[in-house]
Chain A
Amino acid sequence: MRDFFHIGKDTPRPDGPDKAAGKALYIHDLERPGMLYGKIKFSDFPHARIKHIDTSKAKNLPGVKAVITAHNMPEIRFGFIKDNLALKKDKVRQYRDEVAAVAAIDPDIAAEAIEQIQVEYEPLSGVFSPQKAMKESAPLVHETDPQGRPRSHNILPLKYHHESGDLEVGKHAAKHIVEGEFSTPLVQQCCMGTAGCIAEFDMNNNLTLWAKTQIPFLAQRDFNQALSDMGLKGKNTRIIVPALGGGFGSGLDTHAYEYIAILLAFQTGHPVKIVYNRREEFTNLSPRQSSQTRIVQGCDQEGKLTFRQVEVLQDNGAYTSWGATYPSVMLMPATSLYRVPHIMFDAKLVYTNNTYCQAMRGYGNPELTWALESNMDELAEEVGMDPLEFRMLNRNEPGDTTPMGLKISTCGLKECLETVAQKMDWKGGTKKGKNRGIGMASLIHVGGGARIYRSDASGVILKLDDFGNVYVFHGGVEMGQGLHAVLIQSVAEALGVQPDKVFINPTDTGTCPWDVGTHASRGAFMAGNATILAADKMRSKIFQLAEELFSAEVGKNLKKYMAKNPDYRPPEFDFAKASKRDQFDLREGNVIIKNAPPEPWLRLDLGRMLRAAHFRPQGRMLTVEAFFDPPNELPDNEKGFGNLSATYAFGTQGAEVEVDTESGEVKIIRMVAVHDVGKVLNPPGLKGQIYGALAQGIGYALYEELKLDKGKIQNPDFRDYKIPRTQEMNFPIDLEFIETNDSFGPFGAKGVAEPGLVPTAPAIANAIYNAVGVRIRDLPITPEKVLDALKNQKKSNIS
């Protein structure tokens, strides 16, 4: 293993000082000259026909510049299967459907105008659970598909199915079989910075959009299509991404509010800003889908898994986002966490009149791992094995190809399990005292990109200036996860310059190379690999120039040095002869000759060399680009095969909990998190990713649920929707990283932004079972559910 200059060293994030000083600019802070404020009128019903919209009062309000509805605007169709409209014309299908919008000179006038829009509806009966929505008599959420063909049911036209081996053979071989049903709630991303954008047209009718997005380039494609729908065919969108204020998947789609801002900006000729307040964010931004999973697993006498059968049902809500591809990620743990020879997986998504859902951190994996790792403990108990031993026996190994075709290049699962056990003083899983228990759960996740789109690529442009500074243009989004610090380290390491000479440019589709989006823990993996390719190109260009310039410039150095040090005798070394491109190296911003004596004059400052190259006849400056497309495959979702990612992250988390049997409250005593990260790039950044994801996992496990009553969100604020505060996170988290140095990873690293969330809930549920013997199958694990389960346990003990 080579030594690194910068990789693995604590590197502060470049935006840290500005964020600490309140100088970072988020969408909420941006203003454009002449800017108007947009506001949206949302539906009053979960399912209704729109009979009439009266905007006359709103239009006459002083300060209102435009009032738009589907009746005076071109139709803009969007969404993963194009089943959504920016403004709804005939029908609303959820409470958050956009029926009208205004632009006004200030936010108060815009809000008042919205109140003055009168909409007449004819209410329709709605469907609010996927089970009911699948019934034959259920009202149709969409009567036709996006192409206008009639629909006969509410099941989405997306098939996710996988069969490998022979399920019957697996069942036959099983000595022990355990079945379980598990469910997860709707949860919100809860970015501290709410959603918003500013849309502005120039006089050529090209659009600039400042957007809170994780997918600037896919968004550009969507918005250019919208421009075309608006009669501006051939016009372009430039997307600039300000400081994000958190993403967590909420920026993986384009949103109706963005299209509405674009329509308002075009209608008024002014820049238009729409920013959600917290209540709007809770009620009108798509949360993580709820899910119901039935899992059956069996193992032989020794405890080796023989089969796994998984059926998932998801409430899609009224429209379809990229979140509808969750099952393609669920397939990964379902087929590939632990070795299982015979597998069946099936997932259905169903339209309802609930809020439509989208991506959130982990993207289907926390949902599936919740069911799988809870069921693994149940099966271990059935066999009479220690849950740790049971997992060790079935663990994945490096070199495995899993049933869906995942190629496991490196795998630290064994080390993760062992380390967690050692840190928790596991001892066969013996409980830690009265009502105090321990549990663990593991995970597999994409660590080398995730091909869910036809390209999974990412580009980097490196530009050098006259002073030896390196400007980096990269299309990935810094959401807060620390991408830019890792980019600086990667450039400094791979190119051979000091980190303080590396500057990351704002993410802008007008200047940065294409990137599919910042999701699936892919940011650092992709940016790192693309940077290594770009740095290689840049180094050869630098060394080509050095062949022309090094010897003359170093000759000047030597003269000056000797003038200052008259007694100095230079060593016998013919630097002119050694000035060959394959003999150079670049270290910490100096061009040197490899194996040359370490004389202070025998090196050339990169900036000086670049100036010499620039300011001469036929001068030159250096810019390079590289585009990295990882060696992974777009899975065939209907058959469920394909090597989704170039490499896979593994991990195990342990929980120690104490259950108050009087109140049902679960107190976390401590958490242990051990992750196979490939290679640690930036220790504080990496820790932050695991701690933060784990905290979201705590919220998912114990507190968070968006509650709906007939499609209406009941708890759209932080009072009633609890996310963990310092007090809820008041327990030690023992972190350790396993370095497996993956050959696909940049410097050996895997992507690990999501894994900390994935196994947290099942580890806690397993610990609760260990503590008090009740199995909770429905997240979040509230005190009420624990108490109910304890009561039922008492009852069944008596009978």
Chain B
Amino acid sequence: MKKKITLTLNGSQIHVTADSHQSLLDVLRNSLRLTGTKEGCGEGECGACTVLIDSRAVNSCLYPAFEAGGKNVTTIEGVADKKNQLATIQQAFVDNGAIQCGFCTPGMIISAKALLDTHPNPTEAEIREALSGNLCRCTGYVQIVEAVKKAANRLRDKP
């Protein structure tokens, strides 16, 4: 069954036709060609497809596209502050060597953003917990956790 759904995507209202069996990830990547959100497993185990739905980090591969109707969805393409200007959390990843192959990075950044948006001063345990659903095979997570700490500091220092 096909249906037209309306959602707020990265700050703009959009209409998109989706099929009942489609995941939000499928619609984002294949219908809307927003390929920043990655498919790492398609089974909700790796976190590469994480997006924000109403400020909550969600695996978009398991999220039915129909369910996104009326919701506020943020993908990695909507994280940057303005055109070609990385957000603080993104810049912290770049500066801190938190990116290697980069395939987990969009999902990792979304999960980190979801944390920092609600916990401006997270402990290391909270950071590790927030990122525990995001697999990374390259980094051992050390520089990722550090990047989130640094981003938190920078965000707090911002006037």
Chains A and B are bound partners: yes
Nearest B residue to A482 by beta-carbon distance? B100
B77 near A717: Cβ-Cβ < 8 Å:
no
Decide: A717 near B76, CB < 8 A? Known: A192-B137, A725-B132: no
B: contact size bracket: 35 or more
B40 near A192: Cβ-Cβ < 8 Å:
yes
Nearest A residue to B133 by beta-carbon distance? A725
Decide: A278 near B96, CB < 8 A? Known: A20-B105, A22-B35, A480-B101: no
Q: Which of A168-227 contact B (CB under 8 A)?
A: 189-194
Decide: A729 near B76, CB < 8 A? Known: A16-B93, A21-B36, A719-B45: no
Per DSSP, chain A at the interface is: loop
On chain B, the residues within 8 Å of A691 by CB distance are 139-143
On chain B, the residues within 8 Å of A13 by CB distance are 94, 97, 99
Decide: A192 near B75, CB < 8 A? Known: A245-B101, A717-B41, A718-B43: no
Is there a chain B Cβ closer than 8 Å to A63's Cβ?
A: no
B41 near A718: Cβ-Cβ < 8 Å:
yes
On chain A, the residues within 8 Å of B105 by CB distance are 19-20, 22
On chain B, the residues within 8 Å of A698 by CB distance are 140
Is there a chain B Cβ closer than 8 Å to A387's Cβ?
A: no
**CB < 8 Å: which of A21, A243, A248 contacts B137?**
A248
Query: How far apart are the CA atoms of A243 and B94 in the complex, in Å?
Result: 16
Decide: A21 near B141, CB < 8 A? Known: A192-B135, A726-B131: no
Query: How far apart are the CA atoms of A262 and B129 in the complex, in Å?
Result: 44
CB distance from B88 to the nearest CB of A (A): 11
CB distance from B111 to the nearest CB of A (A): 10
A718 near B46: Cβ-Cβ < 8 Å:
yes
Number of interface residues of A (CB under 8 A): 54
Of A25-33, A51-59, A318-326, A568-576, the one contacting chain B is A25-33
B101 near A192: Cβ-Cβ < 8 Å:
yes
Decide: A684 near B143, CB < 8 A? Known: A12-B95, A29-B35, A717-B43: yes
Nearest B residue to A685 by beta-carbon distance? B97
Query: How far apart are the CA atoms of A191 and B137 in the complex, in Å?
Result: 6
On chain B, the residues within 8 Å of A692 by CB distance are 100, 137-140
CB distance from B119 to the nearest CB of A (A): 16
A 687-711 to B, binary, CB cutoff 8 A, 1 in contact else 0? 1100110111010000000000000
A723 near B135: Cβ-Cβ < 8 Å:
yes
Query: How far apart are the CA atoms of A17 and B76 in the complex, in Å?
Result: 12
Decide: A20 near B101, CB < 8 A? Known: A278-B42, A717-B41, A719-B45: no
A246 near B38: Cβ-Cβ < 8 Å:
no
A729 near B142: Cβ-Cβ < 8 Å:
yes
B95 near A733: Cβ-Cβ < 8 Å:
no
**CB < 8 Å: which of A245, A684, A727, A729 contacts B103?**
A245
Query: How far apart are the CA atoms of A572 and B59 in the complex, in Å?
Result: 71
CB distance from A674 to the nearest CB of B (A): 16
Query: How far apart are the CA atoms of A16 and B94 in the complex, in Å?
Result: 5
A726 near B128: Cβ-Cβ < 8 Å:
yes
On chain A, the residues within 8 Å of B37 by CB distance are 22
Q: Which of B128-159 contact A (CB under 8 A)?
A: 128-129, 131-145
A 246-268 to B, binary, CB cutoff 8 A, 1 in contact else 0? 11100000000000000000000
Nearest A residue to B37 by beta-carbon distance? A22
B97 near A25: Cβ-Cβ < 8 Å:
no
B104 near A192: Cβ-Cβ < 8 Å:
yes
**CB < 8 Å: which of B99, B128, B131 contacts A16?**
B99
**CB < 8 Å: which of A22, A191, A694, A696 contacts B77?**
A22
CB distance from A214 to the nearest CB of B (A): 12
Listed in ascending order, the chain B residues whose CB lies under 8 Å from chain A are 29, 34-43, 45-46, 48, 75-77, 79-80, 86, 90-91, 93-97, 99-106, 109, 127-129, 131-145
Q: List 21 A-B contacts (CB under 8 A).
A: A20-B94, A22-B36, A22-B37, A22-B75, A23-B36, A26-B103, A193-B38, A193-B40, A245-B102, A247-B101, A277-B41, A278-B41, A482-B97, A684-B97, A688-B139, A688-B143, A691-B139, A691-B141, A691-B143, A698-B140, A733-B140
- 6 A-B pairs with least C-beta separation: A22-B36, A480-B101, A684-B97, A19-B102, A695-B140, A22-B76
Additional A-B contacts beyond A22-B37, A685-B97 (7; CB < 8 A): A21-B79, A191-B137, A278-B45, A687-B143, A696-B137, A698-B140, A725-B141
